[in-house]
Structure 1
Amino acid sequence: MSLEDAAVTVLKRAVEMDTCSRFQESLICYQEGIQILLNVLKVTKDESKKTAYREKIDQYMNRAELIKKRVNQDKEEGKYHEQIKIKENDTGYSFERVFKPYISENLTEVYVEDPYIRSIHQLYNFLRFCEMLLKASCKVKTIRLLTSLDEGENASQQKSALYEIEESLKVHGIVLTTEYSSTIHDREIRFNNGWIIKIGRGLDYFKKPKGRFSVGYCDYDLRQCHETTIDVFHVKHTKIM
């Protein structure tokens, strides 16, 4: 794919997200697309193409600036709300895609409240979420998990897996603390940069792959999803615990 094609793809998604009022995600796509177009402009020699690129860049920059002002104003007034609806069998909703727009350099602490981090695939989902944070452009130092304790013999398996994740994260300078509640019901993820993400199914919104060697087994962007709704809010002061 050429740089120009890449720019078209990213900017097309930016417009789609803009149309759906998913402003934070559209802003990131606009910024990425504009940067790619600037790189294209640098290597273009045709003056007519340069003029066309500059006009497009100005157009997208103006729209991105308007979105940025709107998002910042809504955040300041505490009324920011964005909703993402995932349809049955949809793909393209990996943790990276869903959470990236809300991760920033000043993010240092994450609180996960999800009653279903118990079975093997749910524990793997949580691990993948932690890995996503490790690779993101932030400085997360603490992850706090509140979940329910599995029953019977499965409880020891759950505790063992979470302890293993805890020890693994320590190597990367991240402290994981886990608490169990028998009355927990809500599912939400809070970032201490102000973002709150509520997912109807929690982190368990991916469908089971058809086989270990089927598309989507490793790449969650290619994994089919269950129908669910994601609500995103922003508050000035986020209480983690």
Structure 2
Amino acid sequence: MSAKTEAAGQVLTRAVKYDNEEKYAESLICYQEGIQLLLDALRSITGDGKRQKLRQKISEYMDRAEVIKQRVEQLKAAGSYHEQIHIENNSTGHSYERLFARFLDDDVGVVEVEDPYVRTPNQIYNLLRFCELAVKRCPNLGKVSLITGQESDRDTYQQHQRLEELAHSLGERGVKLAVQYSATLHDREIRVDNGWIIQIGRGLDIYKPTESKFAIGYCDYDLRKCHETTVDIFHKKNVKNGK
């Protein structure tokens, strides 16, 4: 078994697991990734029998992926899509890219973030990382809207200054950062104008600090340990026309 075939097997095992759990969006991503790995492996396989067997597997997975894709579209159209991800304490593999990238695409023009704790440097860095992902994945992004709480009087200026620096950087890429402050905000939610709504128990602040700036996981959030939290994902029809 080649390395690519083995890797495909691992990804497709996750796809089937998510499929059985009715986590269709996650399952579809894994099916697509696993199918691509099998197609890559097919190029290096010799022998008609082996190639035909692998083609058959690829065809079966592609058929199932298409069924799931249609199921997701049906649930979205009905406004009844719901997916839940439970992030366990000290678990890894939960970077923003893995959690959110599949909901960010060419159709996105506005992203709204409600999180009462985008205040400290670390929390603002979390927002920065999320904005980097949005800019990378959404070529038509025009606005990021943030509602958050305000730091104490002593640190208010630094909070504002850091957010203004982020706003300036986004502005250079044609994206406006609009910030509002609320003293009563408790919800933690990301809304995307392609219809996706993501509710996170801890908001963006799901990662534990590393032991030092030179420890594994400091730069790559897939390797960073997480706090326990739950992510709920919904899809709402006609979100562009109002909440």
Aligned 8 A contact 2:109 2:138 in 1: no
Instruction: Give the SS at the match of 2:56.
Output: helix
CA distance in 1, matches of 2:45, 2:139: 34
CA distance in 2, matches of 1:138, 1:63: 30
Instruction: Give the SS at the match of 1:71.
Output: helix
Structure 2: gaps (5+ residues): none
The percent identity for this pair of structures is: 49
CA distance in 2, matches of 1:84, 1:94: 13
Aligned 8 A contact 1:103 1:138 in 2: no
Instruction: Give the SS at the match of 1:83.
Output: strand
| Deviations, residues 97-133 of structure 1 (Å, cap 9, x unaligned) | 0001212221121000000000111011000111111
Instruction: Describe how 1:9-88 pairs up with structure 2 within 5 A.
Output: 9-88=10-89
CA distance in 2, matches of 1:104, 1:37: 25
| Deviations, residues 14-67 of structure 1 (Å, cap 9, x unaligned) | 223223322112112211221232233234331111111111111111211111
Equivalent residue letter for 2:214: F
| Deviations, residues 160-198 of structure 1 (Å, cap 9, x unaligned) | 000000001112221111111111111100000000000
Equivalent residue letter for 1:6: A
Instruction: Give the SS at the match of 2:43.
Output: helix
TM-score by length of 1: 0.94
Instruction: Describe how 1:1-241 pairs up with structure 2 within 5 A.
Output: 2-136=3-137, 138-238=139-239
Aligned 8 A contact 1:31 1:64 in 2: yes
| Deviations, residues 124-150 of structure 1 (Å, cap 9, x unaligned) | 100011111122254212100011111
CA spacing shift, 1:205–1:23, aligned 2, 3 Å: same
Instruction: Give the SS at the match of 1:204.
Output: coil
Instruction: Give the SS at the match of 1:106.
Output: coil
Aligned 8 A contact 1:78 1:236 in 2: yes
CA distance in 2, matches of 1:173, 1:29: 33
Instruction: Give the SS at the match of 2:151.
Output: coil
| Deviations, residues 183-239 of structure 1 (Å, cap 9, x unaligned) | 111110000000000000000011111111111111100111111000000011225
Equivalent residue letter for 2:177: L
Aligned 8 A contact 1:92 1:220 in 2: yes
CA distance in 2, matches of 1:192, 1:170: 19
Aligned 8 A contact 2:201 2:230 in 1: yes
Q: How many residues align?
A: 241
Aligned 8 A contact 2:112 2:145 in 1: yes
CA distance in 2, matches of 1:34, 1:171: 38
Equivalent residue letter for 2:221: Y
Aligned 8 A contact 2:144 2:175 in 1: yes
CA distance in 2, matches of 1:163, 1:137: 22
CA distance in 2, matches of 1:116, 1:126: 10
CA distance in 1, matches of 2:20, 2:207: 25
Structure 1: gaps (5+ residues): none
The alignment yields a C-alpha RMSD, in angstroms, of 1.7
CA distance in 1, matches of 2:205, 2:17: 26
CA distance in 1, matches of 2:41, 2:89: 38
CA spacing shift, 1:216–1:11, aligned 2, 3 Å: same
